[in-house]
Amino acid sequence: MFATLIPLSPETMGRIHPQAGRSIFWELDAEAASLVHDSGDPSFEKEAWLTTTLFNYGCCGLSLERSTAARAVATVLWCSRDAAPGCAQLPTAPVSEDAEVLTSLFIDPGFAGVGLEAVLLDAAIMQLVDADVPAVEAFGWRQDFFSRADVDELLEGP
């Protein structure tokens, strides 16, 4: 498989992984995210967030594209702690003042578990190191999370 890492830019943000284009957990506080899910358009909110973040912060993600695909098979996103109010929902919040946050990694199921996640994370960390970021934080997600009996309650947040 031939694949290319594509830095996120205004020109490439429309080619991110479809799930990355709809997920707003990190980008909005819990109340705003709930309102958007109930009556809004998560894709619109994500596009607005990406546009603002790219303008104010610069590159905030990488996508992995196959040479035969018109969209990414995987995307990793990061940002400053101030651009990720969703972090406040987590028990280990807040993010350290000097840290940037690796917020999300989405990958097509057919490509998961073969090492592409590590490629994306390594590339993201190298971008942040090159930008002289002093610290990087990330949150883990267990694979068996969705089999929990209280998963709906946990996803809804406080």
Per-residue confidence (pLDDT) for residue 158, from 0 to 100: 45
Per-residue confidence (pLDDT) for residue 110, from 0 to 100: 86
CATH of 3-153, one of 3.40.630.30, 3.90.930.12, 1.10.3720.10, 3.40.190.10: 3.40.630.30
Alpha-carbon distance of 114 to 1, in angstroms, equals 12
Per-residue confidence (pLDDT) for residue 50, from 0 to 100: 96
Q: Which two tokens stand for residue 130?
A: 């090159």
Per-residue confidence (pLDDT) for residue 139, from 0 to 100: 82
Closest CA to 24 of 35, 13, 15, 14: 35
pLDDT along the chain (158 residues), means of 10: 88 92 91 87 93 95 84 94 90 88 92 91 96 91 64 58
Place of tokens 């695909």: 69
Contact 105, 117 (CB under 8 A): yes
Structural domain spans, the chain: 3-153
